[in-house]
Amino acid sequence: MNALKQTRLKAGLRQTELAEATGIKQPMISNLERGKRVATPSTKQKIEAVLGYIDWLSFERVLISGSYAEAQKVVRTLKGIQLGMDIYEKRALWTLLWKHFRMGNKQNKEE
């Protein structure tokens, strides 16, 4: 069970209730919970306004291009950068990286 569904159930909400409270259609919430869609930053904000913090990266598929060694190097660097950050700065950084690697894969596939 992913973090979104888990948080929604802890709040005692059905998908339809969350959809009504956020203004997001119920099928979209279902797709997010099943990992079929990835939430935009504005969608995440709407959901978090109702449910509170959700660890989106725990269940979103992040596609990374490059070698395993390159990925390890990036992760080590990020661990050092994050030490002085608050939770919002960390989430912004991870979102930015997710977008970068996601777009990198789309560009690689088109070439």
Residues 6+ apart with CB under 8 A from 57: 94, 98
**Same domain? 49 vs 93:** no
Phi/psi-derived region of residue 35, left when phi > 0, alpha when psi is between -120 and 50, beta in every other case = left
Q: Which residues of the chain have pLDDT under 50?
A: 62-64, 105-111
In-domain check, residue 72: yes
Same domain for 49 and 8: yes
Domain stops at, among 58, 80, 102: 58
Q: What is the pTM of this model?
A: 0.55
Q: Is residue 63 part of a domain?
A: no
CATH code for the domain of 51 = 1.10.260.40
| Digit-coded pLDDT (tens) for 77-93 | 776 666 677 788 778 87
Full residue range of the structural domain in which residue 46 is found: 3-58
